Each structure stands twice: as C-alpha cells, then as structure tokens.
Amino acid sequence: MSELISKYLPNVANLGWTGDSGWGTALFQTIFMTFWPAVIGGLLGLIFGLALVLTKDGGILANRAWFNLCDKIVSFFRAIPFIILLAFIAPFTQLVVGTQIGTTAALVPLSLGVFPFFARQVEVALESVDRGKVEAAQALGSTNWDIIFDVYLSEARSELVRVSTVTLISLIGLTAMAGAIGAGGLGNTAIAYGYNRFNNDVTVVATFLVLILVLIVQLVGDWLAKKLNHQVR
C-alpha cells in the first residue's frame, strides 16, 4: 500500500503521518478543533436558544428585555463573517488562552462562531414543540425546570440531534478557515501544502478526508435522530 501511495501520490507520501505537517497531525487537529468548540459553542447555543424561546412573548418566562438582549447578542455574532471574527476577537483570544496563533487559539473564535448558528437552530427546534403540551404541563403544576427538561428538551430531542448534526458539519467547514491563524488541520493542509504548492494530490486527499468526517457525522446523527424519534412515539 505504501509503495502504491509513493508511486501515484508522491506529495501525499512526502508529508508522512507524523510531524507538524503529517496527515495524522492534521486529522487530530481537525477533530480537536471540532470537538471542543462543539461542546463549548453547543452549550452556549443551547442556553441562548432556550432563552429565546422561554423569554419571548407567550413564553413561560416571558421577559422582553432579556429576549431582546439574547436576540441582539446572537444576531451580532451571527452577522460577523468567521474570517473577520478571527481578527476581531484576537485580543480576547489572547486573554483567554494566552496566544492568538495555533490550534488552541482557534477554539475561541470557533466556539463564538458556531454558537449563534446553533442557537437559532435550537430556537426553531424548540418552537416545534406542541404548545398544548406546555400548557398541559403548566396545568398539572409542573415547575419551569420540569417544563424545560421534560417537555421542551424531551419532545424536541430528535430535532435537536438533527440540528446538532448540521451544526457539526458546519463547524468542520469552519476549521478550514481557522488555518488563517496557524491552527493547522486538514483545511490548512489542503491549501498550504496542496493548492499553494500545486500539489493536487494533497488537495484531493485532504478534501476526501474532510468528506469522510462529514459523512460519519451525518450517518451517526441521522441514526441517532431516528432512534430518538421512535422512542418519543
């Protein structure tokens, strides 16, 4: 296998598996930059998405001031193109992680870049919950926490998995742009070692690996969403 790769994909073989430019390193960096922002940005997105639904007019915690604040924060970060966000929050990134360059530094803008997108997705998913079930829970004396966990999050869990899948796929795409701050990853390999050096085989293989990651996320997400949807029924 290694002989075939060396023969037909020489530039791919030259990068090797380890080292700063190795394929294993690039793959790990992409997964690293996807996992932690998914956790951090996902948590922020879930909190803001819930806040938007609960504090809107007619919500169980209706509060126009809080709704407007959350709505403006989400809209503000969502309006900034990610490549500009990288530079815009550079001082904040320096404050949080002590550097503006590298894989770890990319976690901050990636988290802030993905959370408003996920927040809007969560908002739509939770609004799909039958209002009658919320009113029934209130009539039975359920607390707000009970309604949040046992009605909103429980009833919308299948849809939440679907929007989480979409968000993860979008996040994988954002990691490619994170290479602009020296974050590495498969996107950086495709551009820096492939496109910029006219090594088409490197670009093709890097793109193929990204597609494999996206396919895995999509398949797992679809399977989990269907399973949870059947359990709800």
Complete DSSP assignment for 86-140: HHHTHHHHHHHHS-SSSHHHHHHHHHHHHHHHHHHHHHHHHHTS-HHHHHHHHHT
The predicted structure's pLDDT at residue 180: 56
pLDDT band of residue 230 (cuts 50, 70, 90) is low
- The domain defined by 2-232 folds into MetI-like fold (1.10.3720)
Q: How far apart are CA 225 and CA 49, in angstroms?
A: 19
Which region holds residue 67: left if phi is over 0, alpha if psi is between -120 and 50, else beta?
Answer: alpha
Helix (H) or strand (E) holding 143: none
Question: What pLDDT score was predicted for residue 99?
Answer: 85
What is the structure's pLDDT at 1?
59
What is the predicted pLDDT for the residue at 2? Answer: 67
Beta carbons within 10 angstroms of residue 222's beta carbon: 13
Selection from 157, 179, 24, 49 nearest residue 109 by Cα: 179
Q: From CA 195, how far away is CA 197, in angstroms rounded? A: 5
118 and 167 Cβ atoms separated by less than 8 Å: yes
Distance (Å, whole) CA 42 – CA 35: 10
39, pLDDT greater than 80: yes
Dihedral of CA atoms 126, 130, 133, 138 in degrees, nearest 10, equals: 60
Q: How confident is the model at residue 12 (pLDDT cuts 50, 70, 90)?
A: confident
d(CA 158, CA 221): 10
Predicted confidence band of residue 37 (pLDDT cuts 50, 70, 90) = very high
Domain ranges in the chain are: 2-232
Collapse the DSSP code of 56 into the 3-class scheme (helix H, G, I; strand E, B; otherwise coil) and give the result: coil
What mean pLDDT is reported for the chain?
Answer: 89
Is residue 173 within 8 Å of 164, Cβ to Cβ?
A: no
